[in-house]
A = this chain, B = another copy of it.
Amino acid sequence: MAKITTIGLDADDTLWHNERVFRLTHDRFCDLLSNYIDAACVEDRLLQVERKNLRLYGYGVKGFTLSLMETALELTDGAIDGRGMKQILAWSREMLSHPVEPLPHVRDALIALEDEFQLVLITKGDLFDQERKFAESGLADYFTGVEVVSEKTAASYQQIFERYGQGAERAVMVGNSMKSDVLPMLDAGGWAVHVPYEITWALELADDPENAERFRRISHLGELSTLLSDIRSRE
């Protein structure tokens, strides 16, 4: 089996906390709208609006903010006042300047791997915000490259791992999303390691792959080095 040359790592909720910042805004949003309508229906409608808008906005905080505003205007039938709308804009600014907090074990894992492998950060979403978080994370020095893509597909993994290394077959992708980090990487012929985060956005959920020889799961990045030795022993 060919030697592993490159490790791809997802960013949000793999290297640092992210989804809980969105959850906090979700909760605040439901509170805000409870002044106008039954809060129980807010969450569902927001998810529908987000799903509908993905093809127009892509991923990231700015698109999420526009979806919050659309949902608020729709569910209150335009009655939400200027103060409420300003509130939503303020949350958005807060999300976009939120301190970046690396997850436990991440730095040690990167230090353990950086000499032996090319490390590439692979993330989707808003280019500008992802670069900001990467710069603020204090982790940039461990990486050979950063690739922000609009969607994680088998084709995008193939292209990236050709660029950094010798193709997806000799690479491992590590991330918290089954839908984005695991399944398309397996389709590309590579290894995929799932590291679940405490919460997963509904639009990133997917079932485990069946009969996938190159699929693994670990509980945190501190287990990655041992797992890679195991994969390597099969090479």
Contact = CB atoms under 8 A, between A and B. Distances in A.
A85 interface: yes
A136 to B, nearest CB: 13
Contact of A66 (B59, B62, B79, B150): B62
A83 interface: yes
A82 B83 contact: no
Q: Is the interface of A mostly helix, strand, loop or mixed?
A: helix
A73 interface: yes
A57 B65 CA distance: 12
28 contacts: A56-B93, A57-B62, A58-B126, A58-B127, A58-B129, A59-B128, A62-B62, A62-B63, A62-B66, A65-B66, A66-B66, A66-B89, A69-B89, A73-B82, A73-B89, A76-B82, A77-B82, A78-B81, A78-B82, A78-B85, A78-B86, A79-B82, A80-B82, A127-B148, A127-B149, A127-B150, A128-B150, A131-B150
Nearest to A78: B82
A66 to B, nearest CB: 6
Number of copies: 2
Contact of A57 (B58, B82, B96): B96
A97 interface: yes
Interface in A119-137: 126-129, 131
A76 B86 CA distance: 12
A92 interface: yes
A128 B57 contact: yes
